[in-house]
Structure formats: structure tokens, C-alpha cells
């Protein structure tokens, strides 16, 4: 219950990715976030790869009555069960489905979703711009995505500090401004500030701010609803997103 999304809402970063989708130029969004904020921002499921899973789906994870671990459960059933303050709700759900139900998030030691491995090579081979935001690039195999881009593809890192250098990762970032072959650019600062600067240069700032305003209104409506809130406040962070 404590892990369930409810403290944050999509930021300008999430809505910029949504804007790329709306304009038909988003190949894919890869994220390690488990908070489902990409979905809340309106990014289509087929354009999203949640490498560590998220709260968009749920499944049965133990097997008391012969049900396979891949048995899926509607996430709203789990949400409603956790709405109860005690243990009765999730225990009734477990009894009903014959096993413990949890969101499809990846815990330490568990395999990443097959979708992550199925799409990455083709996606990165096709991209003509890679944007990396809010990340330490310390977690493998997620950080290996950086190495899959062709050499001619420009790459933009929007981050508070430079990470993922070519000295640390295969085909990592090279921010040497004196290297004529360098295709990498580093914006140092908060993700939202970097995205707004990029949107302004593209002539999209008005469109981006409209999406953010729409999201703020929706978040306020959710916060005052009777259901367990999915997203109710804003944060400056957008971690581990490609």
C-alpha cells in the first residue's frame, strides 16, 4: 500500500514525451520508473517499455491452487482491495484468485520483462535522436541501451551531473567539444528546466504548457475523488528515462 503511486503526478518531462508521441515522432520511451506516471501523462502503452515494471498491471505470484505465476489480474481489483485500511481487502483478493496478487513490478533478482529485450535493438537502431533524462546510468542492463545507438545519432543528456561517459560505458557519452565527431550534448540542470528549454527551441513550449496544465487539473480531480489516488502532486524528478 505504501508503494502505491499517490504522492506524485507527471512532470513537464513526462508531458514532453507525450508531446513527442502526439506529434508521431516517438519511437519508444524506456523507463526504470515504477510509478506509472508515463501512463498517467497519456503515453500509449505500445510506445512504453517499463524495464522494472510498474503499477499498470497486476498478477498472481504464488501458487496455492494450481494457478500459473503469469495469471493476470485487473489492476483496479488490487487498487480497490488496497483501498481498505486493514488486511481484509487484499486477503479476500488472494483467496478469490488463489494466490497473492501484486503489481507487475520487478524486484531485485527477478528477470526484466521480455519486452525490454525484444524491442531494444530495433528501437535504438532506428532512432535519429536519443534523449536521456534524470539518471545515474549505473544500473545494468538498462544502461547498456546507450551503447546500441549508431555512431552518427546525436544524443542529449539532461541531468544534474554528467554520467555514462565513454570511459565508464561501452559507446558511452563523449562531451568533448573539441572532437569534431562528437554527437553528444549535455544539459546540466533539472530535467523540467532542460525540457522546457528544448521545447522553447523547438517552438513547442505553448503545447507543452497546455499539457502540463491539463495534467494538473486532472491530478486535482483525482486527489479529491473517493478512490485511492493514483497521482496527486508534482515532482521535479524524472528518473532513468530514455
Tally of residues, the chain:
242
Number of other CB atoms surrounding residue 202 within 10 Å: 13
Does the annotation count 14 as an active-site position?
A: no
Query: What is the Cα Rg of the chain in Å?
Result: 19
Reading the block at residue 201, the C-alpha cell is 527551441
Task: Please identify which of the residues 14, 39, 52, 231 carries the catalytic annotation.
Answer: 52
Let me know: does 237 contact 135? Beta carbons within 8 Å. no
CA distances from 230 to 11, 198, 227 (A): 14, 29, 9
Cα dihedral angle (192, 194, 198, 199), rounded to 10 degrees?
Answer: 10
CA 101-107-109 angle, to 5 degrees, is: 125
Active-site positions?
A: 52
Amino acid at each position: 500500500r505504501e508503494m502505491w503511486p499517490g504522492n506524485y503526478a507527471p512532470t513537464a518531462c513526462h508531458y514532453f514525451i507525450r508531446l513527442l508521441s502526439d506529434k508521431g515522432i516517438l519511437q519508444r520511451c524506456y523507463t526504470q520508473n515504477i510509478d506509472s506516471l508515463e501512463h498517467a501523462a497519456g503515453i500509449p502503452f505500445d510506445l512504453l517499455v517499463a524495464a522494472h515494471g510498474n503499477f499498470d498491471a497486476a498478477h498472481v505470484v504464488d501458487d496455492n491452487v494450481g494457478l500459473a505465476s503469469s495469471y493476470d489480474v485487473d489492476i483496479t481489483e488490487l487498487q480497490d482491495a488496497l483501498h481498505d485500511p486493514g488486511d481484509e481487502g487484499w486477503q479476500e483478493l488472494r483467496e478469490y484468485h488463489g494466490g497473492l496478487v501484486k503489481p507487475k513490478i520487478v524486484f531485485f533478482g527477478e528477470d526484466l520483462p521480455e519486452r525490454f529485450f525484444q524491442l531494444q535493438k530495433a528501437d535504438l537502431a532506428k532512432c535519429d535522436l536519443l534523449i536521456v533524462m534524470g539518471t545515474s546510468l549505473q544500473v545494468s542492463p538498462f544502461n547498456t541501451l546507450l551503447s546500441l545507438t549508431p555512431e552518427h545519432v546525436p544524443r542529449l543528456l539532461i541531468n544534474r551531473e554528467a554520467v555514462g561517459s565513454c570511459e565508464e560505458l561501452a559507446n558511452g557519452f563523449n562531451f568533448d567539444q573539441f572532437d569534431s565527431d562528437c554527437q553528444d550534448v549535455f544539459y546540466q540542470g533539472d530535467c523540467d528546466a532542460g525540457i522546457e528549454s528544448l521545447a522553447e527551441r523547438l517552438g513547442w513550449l505553448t503545447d507543452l504548457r497546455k499539457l502540463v496544465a491539463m495534467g494538473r487539473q486532472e491530478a486535482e480531480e483525482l486527489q479529491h475523488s473517493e478512490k485511492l489516488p493514483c497521482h496527486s502532486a508534482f515532482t521535479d524528478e524524472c528518473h532513468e528515462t530514455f
